[in-house]
Amino acid sequence: MTQLNIGIMGASGRMGRMLIQATLDNPNTALKGAFVRSISSLIGADSGEFIGVAKTGVPLATLDLTGVDVLIDFSLPEALDEVLDACVANKVPLVMGVTGLSAEQEAKLTDASQYIAIVYAGNYSTGVNLSLNLLATTARVLGLDADVEIIEHHHKHKIDAPSGTALMMAKAVADARDQHLPNALVYGRHGAAKREKGDIGMHAIRGGEIIGEHTVEFIMDGEIIAITHKAQSRATFATGAVRAAQWVAAQPAGLYNMKDVLGLN
């Protein structure tokens, strides 16, 4: 089997390093590019040595999709225009893992999907995406009889809140109950604010080095159903993103999610 040449945008970040490792560990993928910002002092460093493994011969560099079959982007929202322009110009499929995109940026992603295949997910964990199916089933059965609260924990370095995963979970619940986001969302609570029927509470906790924990509580009179996912290693996200890259390489232009990759839709 011919190896899939993968490029990684945001290679010097926490997830970038895990993606390099996951790409190197997969026998069906090869690391073709490891990309960082043009102002990075790490440009020129070998990507393998950077993550503490054997030399790969692939240096950290600015974005260049020559020879890249699929690009995985876990950088920052500010890089979106550059990434989309390069992928569309070179007809390179994209696995987008950047969270915190604005509505305008998500619209640009949708526009680009007319020309290339894009997987866009707030979380690439297999467990999280299975949890979304459980949440939809539970919400559909209980309807508005259950009060729903979402609590997410992440490390103190995370910039966006709520997390992309928490928003995916809220959407799974809302869609199953025929509600519309963001109308149903209530972010935290302060002061005198009565809970309204159908509210979906959202609470973001930041501290320490928590990788990612999400709990959705369905609270009823007399019982509570809690569905929880805890990530114990970022490797699960990286492995899922590489799996998505292998899948999207064979897809026609369009906008997909991780449930498409896993065959859960």
* CA contacts within 13 A on the Cβ side of 82: 16
Q: Which long-range contacts (CB under 8 A, 24 or more apart) does 39-46 make?
A: 40/12, 42/12
32, 91, 155, 158: the active-site residue: 158
Q: Is 154 a catalytic residue?
A: yes
Residue 151 CA: distances (Å) to CA of 104, 208, 216, 217:
27, 16, 7, 8
How many Å separate Cα 39 from the centre of its chain? Answer: 25
Largest Cα–Cα separation, the chain:
62
Phi, psi of 189 (to 5 degrees): -145, 140
Q: Is 259 a catalytic residue?
A: no
Looking at the DSSP bridge assignments, the partners of residue 187 are 202
Tokens (6 digits) for 103: 């509505």
DSSP labels, 175-228: HHTT--TTTTEEES--SS-PPPTT-EEEEEEE-TT---EEEEEEEETTEEEEEE
Angle between helices 164-176 and 126-142 (to 10 degrees): 30
Tokens (6 digits) for 2: 């011919």
32, 153, 154, 171: the active-site residue: 154
Distance CA 245, CA 31 (A): 12
* Alpha helix (H) residue ranges in 101-155: 103-112, 126-142
List active site positions: 154, 158
